[in-house]
Amino acid sequence: MPALLLDLTHTCHSRARTGVQRVTRALWRELGDAALPVTHDPFEGVWRPLEAWERSNLAADQPAASRRAHWPPAATLRGRFRRWSRPVPDGIRLPDATEAALLVPEIFTAATARALPRLLARVRGPRVALFHDALALQFPEYAPADTVARFPAYLQELLQFDGIAAVSDTSCASLLDYWAWLGQKNPPPVTALPLGIDPPPPPPEARPAARATVLCVSTLEGRKNHLALLAACEALWSGGASFNLHLIGPAHPETGSAAQREVRRLQQAGRPVRYDGPVADGDLERAYAACHFTVYPSLAEGFGLPIAESLARGKPCLCRFDGALGELARPGGCVSIGMGSSPEIAAAMSGLLDSGARLAELSAAARQRVFRSWDQYAADLRSWMRTLERHA
């Protein structure tokens, strides 16, 4: 029996590559045989090991646009049949898990939360959850309504764990501040453990073309601030600037539709905007190799993986310098876009489009940056987990 149970309830049922799911997949890959991947099966009503089709979802290279969990009809029927033919009274269909630890890297749903106490009670080792951010409460106007409604309960449910690993100092502080506001006197330990990234592979054949290309890798959703980026680009194009804008990332169906409409409007007007949606890793690497710099216009993040990945490839990034974004940006290779308004974004972009020397200086600074790898992150996380005691 592996010493660690890894809850992959959502990610093993979706091929989307949002930030949380990329973190979860990286942990699954790096922990390997040291962890037993598990899921809550709502149709069988049990916690169980992953089946082959779920592991295939985790390993798939081609990402999906939708982040929703998908259960094939055969899997739902199989689960219901098992529930009827051989019910499991305690809802745990796992090898002996009593000596194992538990790691929950996802933001779990209300349905999973109702089943979680049974698994927490079975596990004797440290029970740890990752905490990504509290942005649904800090920026409710940019989040889906159901996420905003669900989030206070989720933050309360995290109190069941023996420890919480936040992805940045900013996220760590936001969770502790929220619990203090609730009057929690004895919360579990919370540590800030910045995420890792994949070391960049050798650059593909694509090289930046004579006409500058600006790349933005980000989910299209309200908080990511694409409308301000598109307005900034329109102002620059109207003023005679010559560059291409390349957007990569899935669109949120509720909060990303306005940005999608604006992309289509600009394309119909003949502006050089390319939107690819979610792409495979090889296509993403080619996009990084072909761009001159990146823009990450998000208003706030728990971490900001695209910033770190851009810098690791020697590509300067334009982003905000506060919160978790500032934690990544301030050591070098980035340009501040102030509060993220379209005039601020336009001014920052213009400064790099007009100055090859400044771009070269920032590229050199980016190449000097050193980031934690995913295997280092997984090792550091496990080391910290071993220091934890059962939380009262």
Helices (H), the chain: 19-31, 52-59, 73-85, 110-122, 135-138, 145-157, 169-182, 226-238, 257-268, 281-290, 305-312, 323-329, 342-353, 356-367, 374-385
| Per-residue pLDDT, 206 | 56
Structure tokens at 75: 């899997």
Architecture of the CATH domain 4-196+373-385: 3-Layer(aba) Sandwich (3.40)
Question: Where do the domains of the chain lie?
Answer: 4-196+373-385, 212-367
Decide: 191 and 128 in contact? Cβ < 8 Å. Answer: no
Q: What is the chain's pLDDT, residue by residue, as a tens digit (392 residues)?
A: 458 999 999 999 988 788 899 999 999 999 999 999 999 999 999 999 999 999 999 988 777 667 778 899 999 999 999 999 988 988 898 876 666 899 999 999 999 999 999 999 989 889 999 999 999 999 999 888 899 999 999 999 999 999 999 999 999 999 999 999 999 989 999 999 999 999 888 876 655 567 899 999 999 999 999 999 999 999 999 999 999 999 999 988 888 899 999 999 999 999 999 999 999 888 999 999 999 999 999 999 999 999 999 999 999 999 999 999 999 999 999 999 999 999 999 999 999 999 889 999 999 999 999 999 999 999 999 999 999 987 65
Phi, psi of 127 (to 5 degrees): -110, 115
Assess contact for 134 and 174: CB atoms under 8 A: yes
CATH, domain range 212-367 = 3.40.50.2000
DSSP 168-192: SHHHHHHHHHHHHHHT-SSPPPEEE
In the block, residue with structure tokens 């094939």: 72
Asked if the domains at 4-196+373-385 and 212-367 fall in one CATH topology, the answer is yes
Tokens of 201: 């592979």
The secondary structure of residue 266, as a DSSP letter, is H
Q: How far, in Å, CA of 300 to CA of 82, rounded?
A: 44
Claim: this prediction has a pTM higher than 0.85: yes
Q: What is the DSSP letter of 197?
A: B
Query: From CA 140, how far away is CA 132, in angstroms rounded?
Result: 16
Angle at 138 between CA 136 and CA 143, to 5 degrees: 35
